[in-house]
Amino acid sequence: MNLFRCLTVGGCLVRLLAVACLLLGGWSAQAAPTIVSTVPANMASGVSPTAAIVFTFSEAMNPSATTVEVLDTAPPYPYLTTSSAWSGGDKVLTCSPAPSWPVGHMIIWMVTGENPSGTTLGDPTEGMFTIAATSTGCDTNASMLSFTVSKGWMYEQASTGAPALNTSSPYCFLACMSLPCPRNATNVSLQWLAEPPHNMTLSPIPGHLTLTDCSYANQATFEAAYPPADYTFNVQSTSSNQQVTVNLPSGLTQPAAPHLTNFLAAQSINPAQPFVLGWDAFPGGTTADCIYVEIYGGVFQTPALGMAGALNGTATSVVIPAGTFEPNGHYSGCVSFYHYQMVTNGASHISLAYRGSTTEFSLSTGDGSAYCPVVTNAGWEAARVFKFEVVCPISQPLVAEWSTNLHAGQWQSLCTTNSGVYQRVKFSDPRAGANARLFYRVRTGQ
């Protein structure tokens, strides 16, 4: 959103008159050049005090007729000095602060200019960003300097059926890095192929910087924007600079979408009992891959990729301990599959590249005092053998009963059992084929 763009009646009139001249006089009109991207992005926050402003134009500009003014919004509203450099055939203009931007201030930039033919720059010509109040700081939990480049596909599962791609942000690119204490930095940027440097922003965790782009709804466009390539991190600090390249290899394939196998059970969890969250096997998953599970809000998570105890690609379930959830609660979470490549560069740093698929879902709990068995998958298992399954909490006592009619007192026991460490119990009855009709019911045991 460009808050400074103003479309006036006069502006509309000029455009209408230009069209009239074209129609009446046979004139040819030339599209105005525009700014197609800026780094930092318009309205960005947490920008480093030393970060340059990089403008990319839709076509080559006339450097001698193109100027940039940068204004500090804090009183007395001074104009700030920059040094400028053109590149990319006069399509990219980099304006570096001289000296650094004022810490914690909001900065406004304004561009005027024209192309070599004299056509004036069109909207947008203004934007703003906010400078970080402090330097990057350092992450006390980071054991080593780390650099990550990743691509993810986002899914949602709202039933027992297959997950569907997220309708708003199906494809995401994420780059991040962590600075272990006592290291610090003034700015970190990322660059790949012919792209200009993209400044990374400080996350709420000190020393942890990210660059996230979930703006793509088209798979082909997303893959073209972030192809397999070398991604170079440029870390700037007052004492020394460092450059690290992470390769996103073409051999990393996209994992399939995780699919919960007990979605119905997850909608009626007994919070007083452990709950086993299950999913279909990771297609092609091996011990060299990773699975991550999280219930949002700090409720529950498995160790993340690269951490001790992380689930490998052969896991199909995880036990969420009793007491994790509150009674009558509603939660959301995710299961993620990762194909990854991790390289430890001695005592210097860790490089990580991965492709992941994440499925988000909802969970709900009861009051913990009552459980209603859920009967599912009823049908003929073999000739004359009828079977059905019951979704239930772990260690839930169950009694299955049968009757030839629905009269009270006519029910007979089919089986009494305990679900043990599973959340699904199967019952079968070979007598079903010898009776014209049979009724079944399941109740909790005593």
Best-predicted range by mean pLDDT among 37-46, 247-256, 435-444? 247-256
Structure tokens at 364: 């709900």
Contact call for residues 1 and 43 (beta carbons, < 8 A): yes
386: pLDDT strictly greater than 90 = no
Annotated domain spans of the chain: 32-131, 145-364, 374-444
Give the model's confidence band at 317: pLDDT under 50 very low, under 70 low, under 90 confident, else very high.
very high
pLDDT value at position 133?
57
- Tell me: cis bond preceding 397? Omega within 30 of 0 counts: no
User: Is the pLDDT assigned to residue 12 strictly greater than 50?
Assistant: no
- Name the fold adopted by 374-444: Immunoglobulin-like (2.60.40)
Say whether pLDDT at 418 is over 90: no
Q: Which two tokens stand for residue 167?
A: 């309708």
Same fold, 32-131 and 374-444: yes
Question: Does the pLDDT at position 16 exceed 50?
Answer: no
In this predicted structure, what is the pLDDT of residue 193?
Answer: 94
The model's pLDDT over 119-164, given as tens digits with 9 standing for 90+, comes to 999 888 899 988 875 567 788 888 889 999 999 999 999 999 999 9
Mean pLDDT of the chain: 85
- Partner residues linked to 207 by β-bridges: none
Q: Is 10 helix (H, G, I), strand (E, B) or coil?
A: helix
Residue 19: which pLDDT band, with cuts at 50, 70 and 90? very low
Stretch 227-256: mean pLDDT: 92
Q: What is the pLDDT of residues 47-91, one digit of tens each?
A: 888 899 999 999 999 999 999 999 988 777 889 999 999 999 999
Q: Which fold has domain 32-131?
A: Immunoglobulin-like (2.60.40)
* Residue 332 neighbours by CB distance under 10 Å: 14
pLDDT at 262 over 60: yes
pLDDT at site 118? 92
Cβ neighbors of 167 (< 8 A, separation 6 or more) are none
